[in-house]
Amino acid sequence: MAESPHRAAGRRLQLPLLCLLLQGATAILFAVFVRYNHETDAALWHWGNHSNADNEFYFRYPSFQDVHVMVFVGFGFLMAFLQRYGFSSLGFTFLLAAFALQWSTLIQGFLHARHGGHICVGVESMINADFCAGAVLISFGAVLGKAGPAQLLLLALLETVLFGVNEFVLLSLLGVKDAGGSMTIHTFGAYFGLVLSRVLYRPQLEKSKHRQGSVYHSDLFAMIGTIFLWVFWPSFNSAPTTLGDGQHRTVLHTYYSLTASTLGTFALSALVGEHGRLDMVHIQNAVLAGGVVVGTAGEMMLTPFGALAAGFLAGSVSTLGYKFFTPILEAKFKVQDTCGVHNLHGMPGVLGALLGVLVAGLATHEAYGEGLDSVFPLIAAGQRTASSQAMHQLFGLLVTLMFASVGGGLGGILLRLPFLDSPPDSQCYEDQVYWEVPGELEDEAQGPLRVEEPVTQA
């Protein structure tokens, strides 16, 4: 490709140096701060007279593995819908999430460190790190195809910090409940990404328009992501809840909510489609809104009917968002939201937060019995009324939107640093900028790439 030697050399070094630097830094911090917790340490675990069956591992590992699949398989393939950006979607998902797992172990650990200044790790910290990676990947979805890997790593560096702080404020300071992360993961990740995308607005993006869509097989690859996300979402929402009825109930709600968002998505997609045809973009994404919308209320006594109603609403709103709101977002608000994260994570996340406000506000001792203590410990302890919990939940949403917006803005400024490698407008959504692509595609692609390049470099 006709690229200036200076630029190529810069690109050549930015990514590897940043990887090495970040890995070196986290390794040193791990050496100094990170220790086994009492369930992963051989001496500590065997010191008490535990039964092996009591190890938290057996209660949470199956859910953790499902979450892990969602982060890497789910997000990765869901974003592989673009015709020429599959390598980047899968590869950068890998890179960003791998770094976020390490870095958020440190950030979340510092904020919660209790044990002599040490960060103690085990299956719960692994779940929390994966959740942070999920938020980073949601934001990635908003700028997919328009940012280089070095930029994205810096983004993950910043977002992980803000994610940790926001989560700490909500869960630890405000006593907000948000097990499945309607607020802390989906709303945060989405609005972070949307503000970021606004700051990185590219008026000339139509130069890459011919690569912005899918082809038949890329849509099938994306469905791998969709289906694994859909199937494992009950594990996502239930992974960090209280054991026993808490996990069980959360799974149940998420399961039914997803079935309803699926029916809502098919109904609305066919209703608004040309000639009544279904749109793959809706099916790939909006069916998942049912998982997002019960992220907060899933562990509460939402009732199975409540799960259906919430899921149906979320799926419908999400589908309508793809059809009607995404174009407005770009035209009026200058937000180019590649994956439609506003429709899948933004609006359903906010709806989920509001659902949490509602269900928390309706909490009674009758409905929860002795279980109130696990779901709403502050209400059970008499420190809060249900209405007060609801107000705190609402305030948590506002705090999240604030952190996300400020974070996305800062992220945008960071990523616009002029020396950072970013794909030109004519080569967005294009793997060849960052990857050796096998011959077949290179030939196929020669036309447009060769033709447009001079324009870009001019």
Rounded Cα gap, residues 328 and 324, in angstroms: 7
- How does DSSP classify residue 30? H
> Which residue number, 115 or 334, has a Cβ lying nearer to a copy of itself?
115
> How many angstroms from the chain centroid is the CA of residue 352?
15
Using CB under 8 A, pick the residue from 107, 137, 154, 251 that binds a copy of itself: 251
Q: If we measure between CA atoms, which residue out of 144, 135, 16, 126 comes closest to residue 77? A: 144
> How many angstroms from the chain centroid is the CA of residue 336?
18
> Which residue number, 368 or 403, has a Cβ lying nearer to a copy of itself?
368
Using CB under 8 A, pick the residue from 112, 168, 437, 448 that binds a copy of itself: 437
Using CB under 8 A, pick the residue from 110, 330, 374, 395 that binds a copy of itself: 374
CA distances from 95 to 131, 150, 163, 330, 399 (A): 15, 10, 18, 28, 29
Using CB under 8 A, pick the residue from 72, 188, 191, 322 that binds a copy of itself: 72
- State the binding string over 267-286 for a copy of itself (x if CB under 8 A, else -): xx-xx-xxxxxxxx--x---
Using CB under 8 A, pick the residue from 115, 173, 209, 243 that binds a copy of itself: 243
Compute how many residues bind a copy of itself; rule: CB under 8 A: 141
CB 446 to a copy of itself: min, Å: 14
Does residue 256 interact with a copy of itself by CB under 8 A? yes
- Given the structure tokens 């994205």, which residue do they identify? 152
CB 270 to a copy of itself: min, Å: 5
End-to-end CA, the chain: 14
Task: Specify the 3-state DSSP secondary structure of 120.
Answer: strand
CB 406 to a copy of itself: min, Å: 28
User: Looking only at residues 349 through 368 of this chain, which bind a copy of itself when binding is defined by CB under 8 A?
Assistant: 366-368
Neighbours of 306 (CB within 10 A): 20
User: Looking only at residues 402 through 421 of this chain, which bind a copy of itself when binding is defined by CB under 8 A?
Assistant: none
- Which residues, 6+ apart, have CB-to-CB distance to 301 below 8 Å? 249, 359, 363, 367, 368, 375
Does residue 232 interact with a copy of itself by CB under 8 A? yes
Does residue 219 interact with a copy of itself by CB under 8 A? yes
CB 269 to a copy of itself: min, Å: 8
Rounded Cα gap, residues 32 and 34, in angstroms: 6
Does residue 443 interact with a copy of itself by CB under 8 A? no
